[in-house]
Amino acid sequence: MGITQSGRIIVPAVIENMFDVQERDRGVISADKVRTVNVDEGVVDKAITTLLMPRSLISQFGLMPFGTRKTRGFGVTGSMNIYAMVRLSIQGRDCNMEVGEISDGLPVVIGNAPLTLLDFVVDSERGRLIGNPEHGGEHMIDAF
């Protein structure tokens, strides 16, 4: 984990095809058949809404598109293809997320929605993610 010159936080992450994870859990496929990518340098950016992945990485997962959404910024103008779920794991916490497609050559970007689901906050001073202090650092979901 670290911080870039632009002030963005970099974290390692594991991304798995959620359909494969479900098939593994049902005993249909073996664990080694789950399409998985270890991302050494995922860029944390709270200004981004969701999890963004380059087109070529999405192809490796065999993810199915289910729609488009209007978008602005981060190398995409107009609309963005949205793909079926992946499991995102960071620092021992995981969540299931849809994926937005970005151009090849761009990094995996971890936006605000996955940070919220993982119950992380950005410690800008130290350039890292920490467990939400409001929850004692424990992974928790608010359900008021």
Dump pLDDT digits (tens) for 82-107.
998 999 999 999 999 999 999 999 99
The pairing of strands 65-71 and 109-110 is: unpaired
CA distance 13 to 43: 10
The answer on pLDDT for 7 being more than 70 is no
What is the SS3 assignment for 121? strand
Residue bearing tokens 């911080």? 3
> How much of the chain exceeds pLDDT 90, in percent?
65
Mean pLDDT confidence for 16-32: 96
Mean pLDDT confidence for 4-25: 87
CA distance 50 to 23: 25
Cβ distance 56 to 104 under 8 Å? yes
Mean pLDDT confidence for 116-132: 91
User: For residues 56 and 72, which has the higher predicted lDDT (pLDDT)?
Assistant: 56
User: For residues 29 and 1, which has the higher predicted lDDT (pLDDT)?
Assistant: 29
What is the SS3 assignment for 22? helix
Average pLDDT of the chain, as a whole number: 89
Domain boundaries, the chain: 2-127
Could you give the count of Cα atoms lying within 13 Å of 100 in the half-sphere of its Cβ?
A: 26
Cβ distance 15 to 97 under 8 Å? no
CA distance 53 to 65: 13
Domain 2-127 has CATH 2.40.70.10: yes
User: For residues 73 and 19, which has the higher predicted lDDT (pLDDT)?
Assistant: 19
Cβ distance 132 to 141 under 8 Å? no
**pLDDT grade, residue 125 (50/70/90)?**
confident
pLDDT for residue 75 = 58
pLDDT for residue 5 = 42
Helix H or strand E encompassing 43: strand 36-44
Q: Residue 87: phi, psi to the nearest 5? A: -100, 125
